[in-house]
Structure 1
């Protein structure tokens, strides 16, 4: 019987995590067994002990702090016993049939990374036709124009067949990879605190001539954003980190000249957008969502000063951040 390690990073997403763990405890197969490891990024809300008691067959690991998704994943992998790692978001749910099929196809073919179809609470499938960010496709409008103009070229790159299609990156919500491949790419990049670490992860696989595939024969439930957007402050924090992670990705994956141009374009666009929306939040104070933009603007400006002072675009929350 082949063992798979299911690795989950949690931060205060206990309701979603409970649903996820309940679905995993029901897994049954004649050919596969699973061990489940949950890294709690120091939620510090008195729920961890209750979950340890509730799920004695699951290994819970308390992290030293809210060290981010990449660090949590690496910590979970370091404690895993199997040769196959399935990274799952806590806001996912599985069933035995789909999970067994998923494992079957990973062992059958030579894909380095395998994800699968994901469906949300509305019964809608996520669009997973993801292309790596390039200079001309890094921002939304140019990317949309590029996709429309190069539909045939993109379809050829995706190389869809009966079982798979092949995007250039897959979301970290559902990632199956062997221990050997994980070591080959040095795991998750802890330059990222949260967001875009999955793009970077996939990029490293492609640079090492590995295949990234999405399996069409298996479907997992994924409630997008269910574990991270808890309140206005949390939402502002996550939205700020989305922006910061874009800067980190630019720093790590583009040449000096291209990086400079992309950083400038990104910074200008963000400051202009968030300033306008922050001013709008004053007369439109009764719209709670606009308050988020004020907080994001403050967070982002603070980050920019930190980036200039410390000469790095890595998030100050990330484990690889070094203050000068």
Structure 2
């Protein structure tokens, strides 16, 4: 029997890591403090997506009370979360990014809100940068009105779905979706809807999860009067190819989202509009500047994005599906 397996408890915390050890240390230290100074005793599960750099053994020794699982490869955020959830014994699951710093108030208030409002199937909290500046960890579901930046701005201002950039004076708001960097859900409900969709390698998996919750009658809620710190860092910002790759993943995942949640002529028009907007409106001019000003780091990033996007679109056309494994877009990841 696994020594970490224990009777069903209140909360299991699942963290997916890929070479973000320094940030992860801060996250785990905040959880150690919560376990030592409060009555909360969450089960902590860390899934390492095959960082393969020797640090996993060190962390197992540093945090012997936490369960560490090594994935056989970097199969994405959804896959790592699902694997961690299979080991979880908690009534509630809390999915955390490794670059978050958690407070006991945030966890206690999320659990309390979930317990007292059974229709709130997904719960999150406000997020702040280390400077204290509030973030925007929620939004509306993607549609044709949100593909283009200018159209999206006008739509959000006029739509009844418009949410204030920050929480304001409300204690709880009910956006369409909340960020997967801090997301609590009852394990029973998580299993019922099939967990995270692993067709999303990174990005939009949280939007998709919230969409399925809403379609099944659940409510998505975000607490405004408590927060966690989200540091935003790690591998995605290390070099131009990484930045370009992850920015391409955002656009690829948007295509997959439209593929899964729209049908018929609506899906065809959305996919076509997204391709045109991406290739000819948003990314063409930055890519041209990338050719002209190659020595400059930021403009070179746009050149790589443009290359990856064309590669993705040719692969999607050849394979007749929007769901293309990320490793086929660039062999360096």
User: Residue 55 of structure 1: which of 58, 63, 71 is its match?
Assistant: 63
For normalisation by structure 1, the TM-score amounts to 0.91
1:7 partner SS: strand
For 1:10 and 1:293, locate their aligned partners in 2 and report how far apart those are by CA, in whole Å.
27
User: Residue 246 of structure 2: which of 238, 244, 249 is its match?
Assistant: 238
Unpaired segments ≥5 residues, structure 1 = 319-324
Correspondence 1:12 to 2:10: no
For 1:246 and 1:172, locate their aligned partners in 2 and report how far apart those are by CA, in whole Å.
16
User: Residue 181 of structure 2: which of 132, 154, 173 is its match?
Assistant: 173
Q: Deviations over 1:202-232 (max 9, x none)?
A: 0000000001000123211112344532222
Aligned residues: 316
CA RMSD of aligned residues (A): 2.3
Name the structure 2 match of 1:22: 29
Correspondences of 1:30-179 after superposition (within 5 Å): 31-110=39-118, 111-150=120-159, 154=162, 162-179=170-187
For 1:245 and 1:227, locate their aligned partners in 2 and report how far apart those are by CA, in whole Å.
19
For 1:283 and 1:137, locate their aligned partners in 2 and report how far apart those are by CA, in whole Å.
31
For 1:219 and 1:107, locate their aligned partners in 2 and report how far apart those are by CA, in whole Å.
19
For normalisation by structure 2, the TM-score amounts to 0.88
Q: Deviations over 1:186-216 (max 9, x none)?
A: 1001110000010000000000000100012
Unpaired segments ≥5 residues, structure 2 = 1-7, 328-333
For 2:55 and 2:137, locate their aligned partners in 1 and report how far apart those are by CA, in whole Å.
34
For 1:228 and 1:178, locate their aligned partners in 2 and report how far apart those are by CA, in whole Å.
30
CA contact (8 A) 2:148 2:277 kept: no
Greater RCO between the two (CA within 8 Å, min separation 6)?
1
Q: Deviations over 1:267-300 (max 9, x none)?
A: 1222224332222123323320111111111111
